[in-house]
Amino acid sequence: MGDIVRDSDFTLQLLPSPQIRKNPISGRWTLIATDRALRPLDEPDVPELCPFCEGHERETPPELLARREPGTLPNGPGWRVRVIPNRFPAVRIGADGAVRTDGLFEELGGIGSHEVIIDCPHHEVRFGALPVEAIREVIGVWRDRILAHHAQDGLKYVQIFKNKGIEAGASLGHNHSQLIALPLVPSAVLEEIDSGRSYFELKGRCLFCDLIDHERAAGARVVAENEHFVVVCAYAALWPFETWVLPKRHRSHFERSSDAELRGLASTLGDLLRRFDAGLKAPPYNLVLHTAPLRVEALPHYHWHLELLPRLTQPAGFEWGTGWHINPVPPEQAAAFLREVKVE
Amino acid sequence: MGDIVRDSDFTLQLLPSPQIRKNPISGRWTLIATDRALRPLDEPDVPELCPFCEGHERETPPELLARREPGTLPNGPGWRVRVIPNRFPAVRIGADGAVRTDGLFEELGGIGSHEVIIDCPHHEVRFGALPVEAIREVIGVWRDRILAHHAQDGLKYVQIFKNKGIEAGASLGHNHSQLIALPLVPSAVLEEIDSGRSYFELKGRCLFCDLIDHERAAGARVVAENEHFVVVCAYAALWPFETWVLPKRHRSHFERSSDAELRGLASTLGDLLRRFDAGLKAPPYNLVLHTAPLRVEALPHYHWHLELLPRLTQPAGFEWGTGWHINPVPPEQAAAFLREVKVE
């Protein structure tokens, strides 16, 4: 967006606050967030200019949380993981959360928070290249930041995600995760919860637990499995090599995972990303966490999981027109390939 | 995809037939279509190598239809608009359309057709740069190809779309449209029909007709208006500068438009695209037609329209994780800008 604002005669007027709007025809939601247009998209990816590298703490907003070496000071060197507010937020703490209607349309203030989790102090661009203990610490920070948002009135959901590569929407190469807390449960999560609820009402079992059993029995789409997790290429993958990481133990809330589970997740996810990097030449990807909404009780019909969405195809008119995707790689072939990739 | 198949150790096995699959958790549909992986993505965009340019007819499959000068022969020069089968189809005529289930999952054969409409014989890359009569002729071909599919058993919907620019998924620069006929009504169209039906049941009026009245009264999001059409920046635009072209006369089926309406559409769409090209430096975009399913009667609650989706932002982890979009440009500002752009 930086580009369009710069190269054309269009001059963006910043809104005082982001807005959440719903299209009454398509039923789809959008965040109108002018601050996002200010985001630089074409900065060179070198440590000297990287605001996320250790020693450059002054170039970011003050930290909200950091895992630090004993004796080091906030906003200085000595950290291992560091959480900062996003300088170009999609939603904002203290935004006017009022609902405005004018008959056909309804608009909600974009209240929420948008944070960046800097995964490591050095200029590493591959999450899978971090030691398993470093990955575990990042995942632990995801958990802690979700837990911190449980206390905030008016927020319903925390979306954790990672963008890797320009094609996947990343504007900085240095490894980072993001968190966006929202005043509504987003559509994709609601749809999963609704599917889970319908299935549970019909069968009395968790759809995700049944899917895990089904995939383990079938085998063709299983990439890896260990004590705590099973990794499968999604049966109806929207993306080539789309892969899900599912905890074997039924649990609706990621943030209620045990320490042992988080250690298992770090090891599982690190191994999976190294398979992607080695087998598919470090592809661009989005990684998204789907978990239960904030402050609801444990749900028997929902089951948290991670979705790894490699960005090797470009959704185009067919995808945006139909809502369907075209995926040239059968998930069974993707899984067979990923199973065999050699990683250290 | 060409790239990943070439650069990695992964070797794709072609499926005998495309498959349509639904993810039971997300409810989302995907076409597993291995032929799409063979599509070249990095050919230089020059007329000498362009298979769509006049004189290169032998480089494409035989034409299905062409608007030709009198006395010229099929698959030779002398055409103005030419329709050919897509060499790398997402669905296929004569595919095995059987449904296969294995408990949790259900798969449908990818029966259908995938056509390319070559919009002009010369190497023009901007649709809006064509004379209005040439645009009208292309739009008339869209209508005729949809009508031709009404006769085909087993097909439920025809999706017409255009991809402009690499960022919007186009693999060739030469102006073209695409048609994909499907054995199911796709999700995005079903959602619009469902919204329209619910509204009609509640109010006894068409949601789209009411939206047109609402937008004309409000004015802030109207880009242009003439006898037959109104052009608005969508209230809850998912994309910066997302713009809809709506026929004023209620009609569920695009292909039942009158000749006068098609002439009006050519003029409206040409003007709109020239505004985009001049004001936003010929941005990449997808253009999609939403119309009623094949072989259903005229619907009082559905209203065909075109959606112009500029691709100036890159959907990333947030968008794929939540189903929501982030749009940095308020539609009111987009409309004000587009209204003022000077075009010949």
Alpha carbon separation from A13 to A96, B5, B232, B333 (Å, rounded): 18, 44, 19, 8
Residue A2 lies in a domain: no
Domain of residue B36, residue span = 2-184
Q: B155 and B200: one domain?
A: no
Would an 8 Å CB–CB cutoff place B15 in contact with chain A? yes
pLDDT band at B41 (very low <50, low <70, confident <90, very high): confident
List the Cα angle A99/A35/B330 in 5-degree steps.
Answer: 55
Residues A16-42, mean pLDDT to the nearest whole number: 91
Residues B234-239, mean pLDDT to the nearest whole number: 98
Residue A153 burial by Cβ neighbours in a 10 Å radius (0-12, 13-18, 19+): exposed
Q: B310 and B296: one domain?
A: yes
Give B322's DSSP letter.
Answer: H
Alpha carbon separation from A248 to B69, B105, B186 (Å, rounded): 66, 20, 33
Residue A230 lies in a domain: yes
Of residues A105, A183, A283, A54, the one with CA closest to residue B215: A105
Please say if B250 is a catalytic residue: no
Q: B241 and B319: one domain?
A: yes
**Average pLDDT along chain A:** 95
pLDDT confidence of residue B330: 98
pLDDT confidence of residue A270: 98
Please determine, for residue A201, whether its predicted confidence score (pLDDT) is greater than 80.
yes
Q: B220 and B173: one domain?
A: no
Nearest CB neighbour to A330, from listed B15, B207, B327: B15
- pTM of the complete model: 0.96
Q: B169 and B41: one domain?
A: yes
Q: B242 and B310: one domain?
A: yes
**ipTM of the complex in this document:** 0.97
Query: What is the SS3 string spanning chain A?
Result: CHHHHHHCCCCCCCCCCCEEEECCCCCCEEEECHHHHHCCCCCCCCHHHCCCCCCCHHHCCCCCEEEECCCCCCCCCCEEEEEEECCCCCCECCCCCCEEECCCCEEEECECEEEEEECCCCCCCCHHHCCHHHHHHHHHHHHHHHHHHHCCCCCCEEEEEEEECHHHCCCCCCCEEEEEEECCCCHHHHHHHHHHHHHHHHHCCCHHHHHHHHHHHHCCCEEEECCCEEEEECCCCCCCCCEEEEECCCCCCHHHCCHHHHHHHHHHHHHHHHHHHHHCCCCCEEEEEECCCCCCCCCCCCCCEEEEEECCCCCCHHHHHHCCEEECCCHHHHHHHHHHCCCC
Please determine, for residue B280, whether its predicted confidence score (pLDDT) is greater than 80.
yes
Percent of chain B's residues with pLDDT above 70: 98
Nearby residues of B151 by Cβ (< 8 Å), 6 or more positions away: none
Would an 8 Å CB–CB cutoff place B235 in contact with chain A? yes
Would an 8 Å CB–CB cutoff place A168 in contact with chain B? yes
Stretch 283-322 of chain B: residues touching chain A, C-beta under 8 Å: 283, 286-290, 307, 309, 312-318, 320-322
Q: Do A192 and B161 touch (CB under 8 A)?
A: no
d(CA A296, CA A6): 44
pLDDT band at A6 (very low <50, low <70, confident <90, very high): low
Phi and psi torsions of A2, nearest 5° = -45, -45
| Domain end among B149, B184, B219 | B184
Residue A101 lies in a domain: no
Residues A195-224, mean pLDDT to the nearest whole number: 98
Q: B160 and B23: one domain?
A: yes
pLDDT band at B1 (very low <50, low <70, confident <90, very high): very low
pLDDT tens digits for A248-299? 999 999 999 999 999 999 999 999 999 999 999 999 999 999 999 999 999 9
Residue A205 lies in a domain: yes
d(CA B52, CA B50): 5
The torsion defined by the Cα of B50, B51, B56 and B58, in degrees rounded to 10, comes to 160
Does residue B225 contact residue B187 with C-beta atoms inside 8 Å?
A: no
Q: B301 and B163: one domain?
A: no
Residues B138-143, mean pLDDT to the nearest whole number: 98
Percent of chain A's residues with pLDDT above 90: 89
Please name the helix (run of DSSP H) or strand (run of DSSP E) that holds residue B196, with its range, or none.
helix B187-203
**Average pLDDT along chain B:** 95
Percent of chain B's residues with pLDDT above 90: 89
Please determine, for residue B4, whether its predicted confidence score (pLDDT) is greater than 60.
no
Query: Given the structure tokens 């045990």, which residue do they identify?
Result: A258
pLDDT band at A38 (very low <50, low <70, confident <90, very high): confident
Select from A23, A199, A312 the residue whose CB has the most chain B CBs within 10 Å, as the one to mutate to test that interface: A23
pLDDT tens digits for B145-171? 999 999 898 999 999 999 999 999 998
pLDDT band at B82 (very low <50, low <70, confident <90, very high): very high
Would an 8 Å CB–CB cutoff place B339 in contact with chain A? no
* Partners of residue A199 on adjacent β-strands: none
pLDDT confidence of residue A2: 47
Select from A190, A281, A286, A314 the residue whose CB has the most chain B CBs within 10 Å, as the one to mutate to test that interface: A314
Q: Do B192 and A26 touch (CB under 8 A)?
A: yes
Q: B123 and B257: one domain?
A: no
Q: B229 and B80: one domain?
A: no
Q: B269 and B120: one domain?
A: no
Q: Do A316 and B170 touch (CB under 8 A)?
A: yes
* Partners of residue A158 on adjacent β-strands: A181
pLDDT tens digits for A57-82? 999 999 999 999 999 999 999 999 99
Please determine, for residue A173, whether its predicted confidence score (pLDDT) is greater than 60.
yes
Provide, as residue numbers in chain B, all residues whose Cβ is less than 8 Å from the Cβ of A13. Answer: 330, 333
The torsion defined by the Cα of A294, A295, A297 and A302, in degrees rounded to 10, comes to -10
The domain total for chain A is 1
Nearest CB neighbour to B21, from listed A22, A188, A235: A235
Of residues A36, A101, A111, the one with CA closest to residue B329: A36
The CATH number given to whatever domain includes residue A143 is: 3.30.428.10
pLDDT tens digits for A304-334? 999 999 999 999 999 999 999 999 999 999 9
